[in-house]
A = this chain, B = another copy of it.
Amino acid sequence: MAIDLITFRKWADTLADLDGMASVLSWDRAVAMPASGSVSRSYQLETLAAVAHRELTRPGIADILDAIVDDDEIDPATRREAELLGRERARAERLPEDLVRAISAAESETFGAWSGTRDRDGWEVVLGPLTRLVDLKRTEASAITSGTDLYDAMLDEYEPGATRARLAPVFRALADRLAPLVEAGAAHAPAPMSDRYWPHDRQMQLARDVARMIGFDLDDGRIGESAHPFTGTLGDGDVRFSTRIDERNPISNISTVLHEAGHALYEQGFTRGFARSALRNAPSLGAHEAQARFWENHVGGSVEFWRLVEPRMRDLFPDAMDGLTADALHAHATAVRRSLIRVEADEVTYNLHVVLRFELESALFSGDLAVADLPTAWNARMQELLGIAPRSAAEGVLQDVHWMEGMFGYFPTYTLGNLYAAQLADAVDTAVGGLEAAIGHAAFPDIADFLRTRVYRYGALVPTAELMERATGVPFGPEALLNRLERRALAPLATTTVR
């Protein structure tokens, strides 16, 4: 019997369209929508999710997907797409609709309790809903997984192939070897930058300049502003990212642009033939994050980068730049500080924030930790890892939205991104004859060429571990990142006059 490729293509196209619509609705919500439109937009997103779920689980597709995956004569791209969509479909089908609704309601309740507590310090208010939510997510995990480790089912949604067993030793190595780097870094961090004024519109100009400099195509995308910066593909040929402007701090804007433009370069670099397909995607969140962290940490972490942008900053901000050197900007951008809040953390401490969350959430799913004991466990481990402890739940267990929205297993992908980014940086270093030198010459097309050829163009065609090992020539592990951070910690500090 001939395989019904036409039905498959139409179904996959529809799913891609629905996915793109969700990106448009979300982009507009973050960048353009007045706050008064939020209830309506939530309804729209809910309805869209229901339509997409109905389409994903449409009867009569499963057999076609199986037939495609099993047929050696069909092109590999189509087979991989059928495999990816089939996996998503299987996951959706294993979840009874009652459970999906109960989880959705528990997420809304937990998120509502969390965002409604004053100063986000209402652990007592969050405890009940969050306990119910974790119970339901454990039920979800049981429904999905064929294995025994419930946490793996959570991980798998964001990072296919990752397991607790494979991550645990890597995260343990990070905890051990990052501690002395925090110690050393914190001792040498420059004083925070004094009050200077970096006007909004000029910072947006700088955002465009930096994005364009590293290769983001503004004819094929847009840059916007939102409270929480993000990147999205709204459709083929329409990749957008947002930044956030703080008129007292241009470095946060530049780091954000490097990070988000990194995501965006990846999405602009998928093979054109993957348009309107599930292959127009990263194979995992970790693979995506790696592209962002490469630019943010390994380009933005080099003094050469700051020497490159310094003249442009002096043009745009003659007053604020008075007395500030490229070295000083670099010192601010790479300063290591003990801090309580993940999203404000530097490159070194960031991973310890993730280690903490990985340990706690995997303990929640193994049953070794009760939700009620989270704050105590958080504070104790924070003290061990970073040498400081939150004075309130707002500074601790309540600081992130992820768990409140049922996203367990998401945090590790940030550190996976950091690990892969460091491996990529080593590979780029070899390929271009020195990464720092290439940055110094603004040889961004050479860097982009390597990334496009080795990573971007594959989209979701190749699973993350294989993709990264092929691109970097080394197996997954923490060495590249740790070596880079240790090298930097030992390097003589640039002599800076920092006001």
- Asked whether A236 lies within 8 Å of B21 as measured between CB atoms, the reply is no
- Asked whether A222 lies within 8 Å of B34 as measured between CB atoms, the reply is yes
State the CA gap A38–B236 with chains docked (Å): 9
State the CA gap A37–B221 with chains docked (Å): 8
Q: Which residue of B lies closest to A40 (CB)?
A: B235
Q: Is A338 on the interface with B (CB-CB < 8 A)?
A: no
Binary interface encoding of chain A residues 64-90 relative to chain B, with 1 for a CB under 8 A from any of its CBs, else 0: 000000000000000000000000000
**Which residues in window 1-56 of A have CB below 8 A to B?**
13-14, 17-18, 20-21, 24-25, 27-28, 32-41, 43-44, 46-48, 51
Binary interface encoding of chain A residues 232-254 relative to chain B, with 1 for a CB under 8 A from any of its CBs, else 0: 00111110000000000000000
Q: Which of A14, A17, A219, A275 has the most CB of B within 10 A?
A: A17
Known: A275-B40, A276-B40. A21 touches B34 (CB 8 A): no
Chain B residues within 8 Å of A236, by CB: 36-37, 39-40
- Asked whether A24 lies within 8 Å of B18 as measured between CB atoms, the reply is no
Q: Which residue of B lies closest to A55 (CB)?
A: B51
- Asked whether A235 lies within 8 Å of B37 as measured between CB atoms, the reply is yes
- Of B17, B24, B238, which is within 8 A of A47 by CB? B17
- Asked whether B237 lies within 8 Å of A43 as measured between CB atoms, the reply is no
Q: Which residue of B lies closest to A22 (CB)?
A: B21
Q: Is A220 on the interface with B (CB-CB < 8 A)?
A: yes
- Asked whether B34 lies within 8 Å of A221 as measured between CB atoms, the reply is yes
Chain B residues within 8 Å of A275, by CB: 40
- Asked whether B25 lies within 8 Å of A222 as measured between CB atoms, the reply is no
- Asked whether A39 lies within 8 Å of B222 as measured between CB atoms, the reply is no
Known: A24-B25, A47-B17. A37 touches B276 (CB 8 A): no
- Asked whether A20 lies within 8 Å of B44 as measured between CB atoms, the reply is yes
State the CA gap A371–B27 with chains docked (Å): 44
Q: Which residue of B lies closest to A42 (CB)?
A: B235
> How far apart are A264's CB and chain B's nearest CB, in angstroms?
12
Chain B residues within 8 Å of A276, by CB: 40, 43
- Asked whether A39 lies within 8 Å of B237 as measured between CB atoms, the reply is yes
- Asked whether A48 lies within 8 Å of B36 as measured between CB atoms, the reply is no
Chain B residues within 8 Å of A13, by CB: 43, 47
Q: Which residue of B lies closest to A52 (CB)?
A: B51
- Of B35, B37, B48, B234, which is within 8 A of A234 by CB? B37
> How far apart are A32's CB and chain B's nearest CB, in angstroms?
6
- Asked whether A235 lies within 8 Å of B44 as measured between CB atoms, the reply is yes
Chain B residues within 8 Å of A48, by CB: 17, 21
> How far apart are A220's CB and chain B's nearest CB, in angstroms?
5
Q: Which residue of B lies closest to A275 (CB)?
A: B40
Binary interface encoding of chain A residues 206-224 relative to chain B, with 1 for a CB under 8 A from any of its CBs, else 0: 0000000000001111100
- Of B17, B39, B40, B43, which is within 8 A of A43 by CB? B17
Known: A28-B28, A276-B43. A238 touches B36 (CB 8 A): yes
- Asked whether A18 lies within 8 Å of B34 as measured between CB atoms, the reply is no
Binary interface encoding of chain A residues 94-114 relative to chain B, with 1 for a CB under 8 A from any of its CBs, else 0: 000000000000000000000
State the CA gap A22–B27 with chains docked (Å): 15
Chain B residues within 8 Å of A40, by CB: 20, 234-238, 275-276
Chain B residues within 8 Å of A33, by CB: 222, 234-235, 238
Chain B residues within 8 Å of A43, by CB: 13, 17, 20, 235, 276
- Asked whether B32 lies within 8 Å of A222 as measured between CB atoms, the reply is yes
> How far apart are A205's CB and chain B's nearest CB, in angstroms?
14
Chain B residues within 8 Å of A14, by CB: 47
State the CA gap A27–B48 with chains docked (Å): 18
Chain B residues within 8 Å of A47, by CB: 13-14, 17-18, 21
State the CA gap A41–B220 with chains docked (Å): 13
> How far apart are A38's CB and chain B's nearest CB, in angstroms?
8
> How far apart are A441's CB and chain B's nearest CB, in angstroms?
30
> How far apart are A439's CB and chain B's nearest CB, in angstroms?
28
> How far apart are A168's CB and chain B's nearest CB, in angstroms?
41
- Asked whether B21 lies within 8 Å of A237 as measured between CB atoms, the reply is no
Chain B residues within 8 Å of A39, by CB: 235-237
State the CA gap A451–B51 with chains docked (Å): 38
- Of B32, B35, B37, B237, which is within 8 A of A36 by CB? B237
User: Could you pull out 17 A-B pairs where Cβ atoms are within 8 angstroms?
Assistant: A13-B47, A17-B47, A20-B43, A21-B25, A28-B32, A34-B218, A34-B220, A34-B222, A37-B236, A38-B237, A39-B237, A40-B235, A40-B237, A40-B275, A40-B276, A41-B238, A43-B235
Closest 10 pairs between A and B when the two form their complex, measured CB to CB: A40-B235, A37-B238, A36-B237, A17-B47, A40-B236, A37-B235, A17-B44, A37-B237, A36-B220, A21-B44
